[in-house]
Structure 1
Amino acid sequence: MNTFRVLKTAVTDVAATTAQPGATTARTGVLNLSKGFTLQTPNFLAPTSRGVVPHLSPDNLEKNTGVEGVFVALEDFIEKAPQRVPPLYTYPSTLRSFISLPTSTFLLLSPRRSPSITCPKANSDANLSILTSVGFRDLPIKDYVSAVIRLEPDIVLGITDIANTVSPGKNRVQKMVNRTEKWLDELLGRVYAGDNAITDEKNGGKLPAVFAPILPLEKERQRLYLTYLVENVEKLSGLVFTAAESVDVIPQELEGLPKLQSDVTGGPHQVLEMIGRGIDLFNVGFVGTMTDAGIALHFTFSNDEAEGTEDGKEMLELATDMWDAKFATDLSPLEEGCECYTCKTHHKAYIRHCLEAKEMTAWVLLQIHNLKVVERFFGSVRRSIEEGWWEKGRSGFEAKYKKDMPVGTGLGPRLRGYQYKSVGGEGRLNEPAYRSLDSGDEGGL
Structure 2
Amino acid sequence: MDTQPPGFSLLAVDPTGARRGRLHLAHGTVETPAFMPVGTQGTVKAMTPEELEGLGAEIVLGNTYHLYLRPGCDVIRVFGGLHRFMHWDRPILTDSGGFQVFSLGPLRRIREEGVEFRSHLDGSRHLLTPERVVEIQEVLGSDVMMVLDECPPHTAEPKYLEQSLERTHRWAVRSLAARTRPELALFAILQGGVNPTLRKRSAEFLRDHPFDGYALGGLSVGEGQELMLATVEATTPHLSADKPRYLMGVGTPEDIVEAVARGVDLFDCVLPTRTARNGLLFTSRGRLAIKHARFERDPRPPDEACECYTCRNYSRAYLRHLYKSREILASRLNTLHNLHYYLELMRRIRAAIEAGTYARFVTEFRHASAGELKD
- Whether these two folds match at TM > 0.5 is yes
5 Å-filtered alignment, 1:32-181, equals: 32-33=24-25, 35-62=26-53, 64-79=54-69, 86-91=71-76, 92-97=78-83, 99-103=85-89, 105-112=90-97, 117-120=103-106, 121-128=108-115, 132-134=119-121, 138-141=126-129, 142-164=131-153, 166-170=155-159, 172-181=160-169
1:7 aligns with 2:11: yes
Total equivalences in the alignment: 352
The corresponding residue for 1:182 is: 170
C-alpha RMSD of matched pairs (Å) = 2.6
**Residue 174 of structure 1: CA displacement?**
4.0
Q: Which amino acid aligns with 1:68?
A: E
**CA–CA distance in 1 between the matches of 2:323 and 2:242?**
46
**Residue 138 of structure 1: CA displacement?**
4.2
1:78-108 C-alpha deviation (Å, 9 max, x unpaired): 338xxxxx543234134424641421x3100
The corresponding residue for 1:338 is: 306
**CA–CA distance in 2 between the matches of 1:79 and 1:341?**
35
**CA–CA distance in 2 between the matches of 1:296 and 1:183?**
40
Distance 1:129 1:28, change over 3 A: farther
**Residue 250 of structure 1: CA displacement?**
4.7
Distance 1:140 1:284, change over 3 A: closer
TM-score of the aligned structures, taking structure 1 as reference length: 0.72
TM-score of the aligned structures, taking structure 2 as reference length: 0.84
Distance 1:71 1:43, change over 3 A: same
Q: Which amino acid aligns with 1:209?
A: A
**Residue 130 of structure 1: CA displacement?**
6.0
**CA–CA distance in 2 between the matches of 1:153 and 1:118?**
24
Contact persistence 2:133–2:147 (CA under 8 A) = no
**CA–CA distance in 2 between the matches of 1:175 and 1:138?**
23
- Secondary structure, aligned partner of 1:334: coil
**CA–CA distance in 1 between the matches of 2:200 and 2:359?**
33
Q: Which amino acid aligns with 1:134?
A: L
Considering fraction of residues, name the structure with more helix: 2
Distance 1:106 1:114, change over 3 A: farther
1:210 aligns with 2:195: no
The corresponding residue for 1:395 is: 363
Contact persistence 2:161–2:192 (CA under 8 A) = no
Larger radius of gyration: 1
Structure 2, gaps ≥5 residues long? 220-227
**CA–CA distance in 2 between the matches of 1:253 and 1:134?**
38
The corresponding residue for 1:359 is: 327
- Secondary structure, aligned partner of 1:109: strand
**Residue 321 of structure 1: CA displacement?**
0.8
The corresponding residue for 1:241 is: 216
1:259 aligns with 2:245: yes
Distance 1:375 1:102, change over 3 A: same
**CA–CA distance in 2 between the matches of 1:97 and 1:239?**
23
The corresponding residue for 1:273 is: 258
**CA–CA distance in 2 between the matches of 1:222 and 1:379?**
30
**Residue 241 of structure 1: CA displacement?**
0.8
**CA–CA distance in 2 between the matches of 1:53 and 1:332?**
27
Contact persistence 1:77–1:132 (CA under 8 A) = no
Distance 1:292 1:132, change over 3 A: farther
The corresponding residue for 2:283 is: 298
Residue 268 of structure 2: which of 283, 288, 307 is its match? Answer: 283
- Secondary structure, aligned partner of 1:47: coil
Q: Which amino acid aligns with 1:167?
A: A
**Residue 294 of structure 1: CA displacement?**
0.6
**Residue 337 of structure 1: CA displacement?**
4.3
Contact persistence 1:71–1:109 (CA under 8 A) = yes
**CA–CA distance in 1 between the matches of 2:99 and 2:281?**
23
**CA–CA distance in 1 between the matches of 2:337 and 2:122?**
33
Contact persistence 1:331–1:348 (CA under 8 A) = yes
1:102-122 C-alpha deviation (Å, 9 max, x unpaired): 21x310011228687352234
- Secondary structure, aligned partner of 1:212: strand
The corresponding residue for 1:26 is: 18
Distance 1:343 1:113, change over 3 A: farther
**Residue 131 of structure 1: CA displacement?**
7.6
Distance 1:361 1:133, change over 3 A: farther
**CA–CA distance in 1 between the matches of 2:30 and 2:198?**
33
